[in-house]
Amino acid sequence: MATNIFVNLPVRDLQASIKFFTHLGYSFNQNYTDQTATCMIVAENIYVMLLTEARFQEFTPKPVADARATTEVLVCLALESRAAVQTMVAKAVEAGGSTYKDPQDHGFMYGHGYQDLDGHLWELVHMSGEPPRQ
């Protein structure tokens, strides 16, 4: 059984991405940081490896997707409140990101999201109850 998750994302400008995610409140593990990669700490067991496109390419024989043109992954994080979702999206936009759709309120779940500097989609949700039974 897995105990940690490491999401690997290619980035065009590592220093700009570090600055962007620092603005959102994330920290980085310096033991896994160099000129080509950094380990962003999302939670106790959740990490995002931000890798330069050249470094990312070393891990796959396939071409690196351009997240501005296609969606290769949707990273979804649950936050503690609707306000936390709204605050994180506002910080992302303030730091140079953008929104890609309107907020979604499903009663039991509120969601909104942002695109980072490389176009990766980050969906943020707050769950306040159980989904309706069908």
- pLDDT tens profile 64-112: 999 999 988 899 999 999 999 999 999 999 999 999 999 999 989 999 9
Q: What are the sequence ranges of the domains in the chain? A: 5-127
Average pLDDT over residues 3-27: 97
Whole-angstrom Cα distance, residue 124 to residue 110? 8
pLDDT digits 0-9 by tens, 17-35: 999 999 999 999 999 999 9
What's the pLDDT score for residue 104?
96
Rounded to an integer, the average pLDDT of 1-20 is 94
Q: What is the mean pLDDT of residues 106-125?
A: 96
Q: What is the largest CA-CA distance in the chain?
A: 51
- Which architecture characterizes domain 5-127 according to CATH? Roll (3.10)
Between residues 131 and 109, the one the model is more confident about: 109
pLDDT at 133: 72
**Taking a C-beta distance cutoff of 8 angstroms, is the pair 84, 126 a contact?**
yes
The SS3 of residue 93 is helix
